[in-house]
Structure 1
Amino acid sequence: MLKYESIYQSLFQQIQTGVLPSGAKLPSIRNLSQQYSCSKSTILAALERLEEQHIIYVLPKSGYYVVENQVFKTPSFTDSIDFATSSPTWHAFPYKDFQHCINKAIDTYQEDLFRYGTPKGLPLLITEAKKLLESYQVFTHFEQIFITSGVQQALSLLSIMPFPNNRSTILVEQPSYHLYMDLLKTYGLPAVGIQRTAKGIDLNKLEQIFQEKDIKFFYTMPRFHNPLGSSYSKKEKAAILQLADKYNVFIIEDDYLADFEYNPKNDPLFAKDLHEKVIYLKSFSKIMFPGLRVGLAVLPHTIINTFQKFKMTADIDSSMISQAALYLYLKNGMFERNKMRVSNIYHARAKILHQSIQDHLSMYESSSEMVMHGHIVLPKQVNMKSFIHHLHEKDVYLDSVERNYLDDFYHERILKLNVSHVADHRIEEGIKGIASELKNPQNYF
């Protein structure tokens, strides 16, 4: 081991064990060179390595200080099989690449960090986002694209702001995105539901609701629905667009898994919208990570000004650091390269999940889509609480669908299955465990 490496290890250990706690000043370079009996250049080499890892920082004419004594530790793998967690696994994302983009963004856009941005978002990012959207068959104009603090913020603003059709009731699929259901309940917004299953929705019922109710917009996930995992057919999407135009209803299309589409002919609703009724939302939470807090909203011209006013009152602009880093990540090609890698990981798991359900749970209604999450519909006699509890005791984790429904809508007995946090070789084992537990008489009323 080289001398500077042994000094680095010694200082690193002192910081990690708390001998040198956060905020502590390190001995001077002269004192360190005397302590370790080496040249000042050797000490500087060790300090530079600690600084590169963001463990220490330097103040000119003052010295070196400890930033934080805690360092990243690879999470230990457990024996549990987690079908409940939907957030992406930490190791699937090449965080080192994005870290370079964050550091470069701080260096390049220093001045921008000390002033407010614009309600629309960083112009450079919008330009790159426009190119990205085109790869999803979303062709739009620069002025129609807004950067939001995650899709959740866009949904919140759209839900509370007035719309050109002067209506107030929101129509949502049931079940649907649980955090959006929470939002509707928290704000007490008028909302009605329409049942969605693995087979789609009843288009006659949809027309009836559009005709009889005061529908402001219809919130939908046309492909890879959360939590069902199913997608609308081309015919269904065309019918939904036709009805929206006929009854002057806007559509919010949440395309949160656009990056995982394996069928190039499966276009979003927006691609076929000829009457500017579709509001397109794109998230980066699955292909990258939820903490990025950057989302894309593509708006019809008729609501741009209102949306911009409401967004200004919410946060003026979304995180400039995140926006600048994402811009660099998109521009230099890292996003496209890593998208394929991450997609391949989840596609492999999706295939195993799909086959495992067919092999062991084929007697239950389920989605036929190959995506990282799916569902089965359980018999009415199954006690869901007892069922989930018994599997939890066997280290197989499942989640209830209660939050995916409006309070006054009938709750189907749906079992969500998400493999975002399940290793490939454990998926079938977990599905077998579920199938076995369904034979347990203790889980029935």
Structure 2
Amino acid sequence: MEEKFLITFEEEVPKYIQIANNIKKLIDNKEIKDGEKLPTIRALAKVIGVNNVTIVNTYKKLKNEGYAFQKVGSGTFAKRKDIVPIFNREYSKYFKKIKQDELFNIIDFAGETQSEVYFPIEEFKSIINMVLDRDGANALIMQEPLGYEELRKTINKEFWKNRLSIENILIVSGAQQGIDIASKAIININDNVIVEKPTYGGALSVFKWRRANIFEVNLEEDGIDIVAFEEILKKNKIRCFYTMSYFHNPTGISYSKEKKLKLLELAEKYDFYIIEDDYLSELIYESEIVHEPFKKLDKNDRVIYIKSFSKIFLPGIRLGYIITPDIFRESLQNSKINTDIATSTLMQRALELYIKEGYFKGHIGFLKDEYKKRYELMGELIKQELGEFVRFIDPKGGLNFYLSLKEKNITSKSLFYKLKSKGVYITPGVIFYRYPKDGDYSFRIGFAQVNEEKIKQGINLIREELS
């Protein structure tokens, strides 16, 4: 038994509280690792020189305060308590100010949705008029809790070649609601979840709210570190793995087919499910990347697939869909209905007609052409102007670049504040980690909200700060 558990007691404070405080300090300082098994009650009592009841009360206090969790038959395990992400709220406040005040003089490298100048407003107005002429009041008052049936049929036909049952397609209000619905349906308190490191902050918030035990695994250039991933599977019963298979947010990496197949194999072997957030996969700029999501390769019905139309089509009127495995169909349907009774029926009907009439495919083609120009310009400028300060993986698609500082002489939060004072907004890496300090020296910049001139100005200002 290690000496780190030994403690000199003070008379005024109950012993179990002092022991618990010592263990919390060890966990916070990473002397006890997240997920590490704590000594048995009898063993720890013997080492410290107290009775078993004292250690029972110690472990009960640790569990109540979020510093430990128990596995029936296996013992008690350390759980590093998440730091309250104060900066996340502050960052959101600034981000909202950009939108609310319409500050056109700023350089917004933080925005992720398409610029209003690219929204096909005239086309969409004509589609809405066609829907109203065709369906009348039904377009406004009819509610279908699982989603407009014709939209579900069109999604199946246009995107999945009629390989799905429409009963397994649910319409939701964007990817965030999709993650929330999936989590409510399959994750219980103290279930174990694996996420990529880093990952989408909105997903982390959902899993924390479900009080799941979160395991992080580092990303490589073609997906998650499989060796480290399987080590966790061998030692823990995992309920699900959350992944962004294309142009991962924030890193921009896309999974290789080999890693997808291996993860699907592991899902079957170790009995867990994959929540696939198919993020921005329409925006592929290089022919070497083929769109073949986990769900398309899924032979054992292990994937809950989530797709949003919000980022590239309807930012303000949130729409997306979930494909459910048969085993979770009813629980996901109930979770959807309990979350909201129905999603906007007019917008669903308009989207269905927009897709069916071929407008959607044409719009995506237009966006790819326009965004590819910005992607190429921003990538070239990063190499030329920032190459001595940062390293990055070329995403070959999507809307963002993720930059890691070579020298740790400024944190991403400090850089955020310095650039904000010059009218440039970036996204600090701390937003994307369970423990914010892990993102201190990385940041994301995107080109969705900036034209070519602002890209040049913004990169120049970043270079000034870094040098």
Normalised to the residue count of structure 2, the TM-score between the two structures is: 0.72
Correspondent of 2:181 among 147, 157, 178: 157
> What amino acid is the match of 2:171?
I
Partner of 1:373: 400
Correspondent of 2:205 among 170, 178, 182: 182
Partner of 1:108: 134
Is structure 2 residue 439 aligned with structure 1 residue 399? no
Provide the C-alpha distance between the structure 2 equivalents of 1:325 and 1:199, rounded to a whole number of angstroms.
37
Matched ranges for 1:62-77 at <5 A: none
Superposed displacement of residue 219, structure 1: 0.6
Partner of 1:141: 165
Provide the C-alpha distance between the structure 1 equivalents of 2:437 and 2:224, rounded to a whole number of angstroms.
15
Indicate how the Cα distance of structure 1 residues 86 and 408 shifts in structure 2: closer, same or farther if over 3 A, else same: closer
Q: Considering only CA atoms, is the larger Rg found in Structure 1 or Structure 2?
A: 1
Partner of 1:96: 122
> What amino acid is the match of 1:149?
S
What secondary structure does 2:438 align onto? coil
Provide the C-alpha distance between the structure 2 equivalents of 1:184 and 1:424, rounded to a whole number of angstroms.
38
Superposed displacement of residue 192, structure 1: 2.3
Provide the C-alpha distance between the structure 1 equivalents of 2:239 and 2:175, rounded to a whole number of angstroms.
19
1:101-139 CA-to-partner distances (Å, cap 9, x unmatched) read 22332333334356553332111111111123237xx94
Provide the C-alpha distance between the structure 1 equivalents of 2:222 and 2:281, rounded to a whole number of angstroms.
20
Indicate how the Cα distance of structure 1 residues 153 and 76 shifts in structure 2: closer, same or farther if over 3 A, else same: closer
Provide the C-alpha distance between the structure 2 equivalents of 1:409 and 1:437, rounded to a whole number of angstroms.
21
Matched ranges for 1:356-435 at <5 A: 356-363=381-388, 364-371=390-397, 372-378=399-405, 379-407=407-435, 410-411=438-439, 413-435=441-463
Indicate how the Cα distance of structure 1 residues 209 and 409 shifts in structure 2: closer, same or farther if over 3 A, else same: farther
Superposed displacement of residue 242, structure 1: 1.7
Q: Equivalent pairs: percent with the same residue?
A: 30
Is structure 2 residue 303 aligned with structure 1 residue 250? no
> What amino acid is the match of 1:238?
L
Provide the C-alpha distance between the structure 2 equivalents of 1:176 and 1:342, rounded to a whole number of angstroms.
25
Indicate how the Cα distance of structure 1 residues 414 and 199 shifts in structure 2: closer, same or farther if over 3 A, else same: farther
Work out whether residues 361 and 435 of structure 1, in 8 Å CA contact, stay in contact via their aligned partners in 2: yes
Provide the C-alpha distance between the structure 1 equivalents of 2:222 and 2:168, rounded to a whole number of angstroms.
33
1:2-40 CA-to-partner distances (Å, cap 9, x unmatched) read xxxxxxxxxxxxxxxxxxxxxxxxxxxxxxxxxxxxxxx
Work out whether residues 197 and 228 of structure 1, in 8 Å CA contact, stay in contact via their aligned partners in 2: no
Provide the C-alpha distance between the structure 2 equivalents of 1:166 and 1:304, rounded to a whole number of angstroms.
21
Indicate how the Cα distance of structure 1 residues 225 and 322 shifts in structure 2: closer, same or farther if over 3 A, else same: same
1:36-80 CA-to-partner distances (Å, cap 9, x unmatched) read xxxxxxxxxxxxxxxxxxxxxxxxxxxxxxxxxxxxxxx988443
Is structure 2 residue 259 aligned with structure 1 residue 232? no
1:355-396 CA-to-partner distances (Å, cap 9, x unmatched) read 122222234220212332011111323233332222222222
1:403-444 CA-to-partner distances (Å, cap 9, x unmatched) read 2221478335211111111102332332232123111xxxxx
Provide the C-alpha distance between the structure 1 equivalents of 2:176 and 2:269, rounded to a whole number of angstroms.
28
> What amino acid is the match of 1:347?
K
Indicate how the Cα distance of structure 1 residues 277 and 412 shifts in structure 2: closer, same or farther if over 3 A, else same: farther
Is structure 2 residue 466 aligned with structure 1 residue 438? yes
Count of residues in Structure 1 that have an aligned counterpart in Structure 2: 362
Indicate how the Cα distance of structure 1 residues 106 and 239 shifts in structure 2: closer, same or farther if over 3 A, else same: same
Partner of 1:130: 156
Partner of 1:17: none
Work out whether residues 174 and 405 of structure 1, in 8 Å CA contact, stay in contact via their aligned partners in 2: yes
> What amino acid is the match of 2:378?
L
1:285-320 CA-to-partner distances (Å, cap 9, x unmatched) read 122122221111111111111111221222222111
Provide the C-alpha distance between the structure 2 equivalents of 1:191 and 1:339, rounded to a whole number of angstroms.
35
Provide the C-alpha distance between the structure 2 equivalents of 1:105 and 1:291, rounded to a whole number of angstroms.
19
Indicate how the Cα distance of structure 1 residues 350 and 213 shifts in structure 2: closer, same or farther if over 3 A, else same: same
What secondary structure does 1:330 align onto? helix
Indicate how the Cα distance of structure 1 residues 139 and 433 shifts in structure 2: closer, same or farther if over 3 A, else same: farther
Work out whether residues 89 and 420 of structure 1, in 8 Å CA contact, stay in contact via their aligned partners in 2: yes
Q: Which has the higher contact order (CA 8 A, sep 6+)?
A: 1
Supply the RMSD in Å over aligned alpha carbons.
Answer: 2.5
Partner of 1:221: 244
Unaligned runs of 5+ in 1: 1-74, 440-445
User: Which region of structure 1 is more displaced relative to structure 2, 391-400 or 195-204?
Assistant: 195-204
Partner of 1:311: 336
Provide the C-alpha distance between the structure 2 equivalents of 1:101 and 1:125, rounded to a whole number of angstroms.
14
Superposed displacement of residue 224, structure 1: 0.2
> What amino acid is the match of 2:241?
F
What secondary structure does 1:230 align onto? coil
> What amino acid is the match of 1:287?
I
Provide the C-alpha distance between the structure 1 equivalents of 2:423 and 2:437, rounded to a whole number of angstroms.
31
Work out whether residues 387 and 437 of structure 1, in 8 Å CA contact, stay in contact via their aligned partners in 2: yes
Provide the C-alpha distance between the structure 1 equivalents of 2:220 and 2:439, rounded to a whole number of angstroms.
12
Partner of 2:29: none
Unaligned runs of 5+ in 2: 1-100
Provide the C-alpha distance between the structure 2 equivalents of 1:157 and 1:76, rounded to a whole number of angstroms.
32
What secondary structure does 1:376 align onto? strand
Normalised to the residue count of structure 1, the TM-score between the two structures is: 0.75
Indicate how the Cα distance of structure 1 residues 297 and 409 shifts in structure 2: closer, same or farther if over 3 A, else same: farther
Indicate how the Cα distance of structure 1 residues 415 and 348 shifts in structure 2: closer, same or farther if over 3 A, else same: same
Partner of 1:84: 110
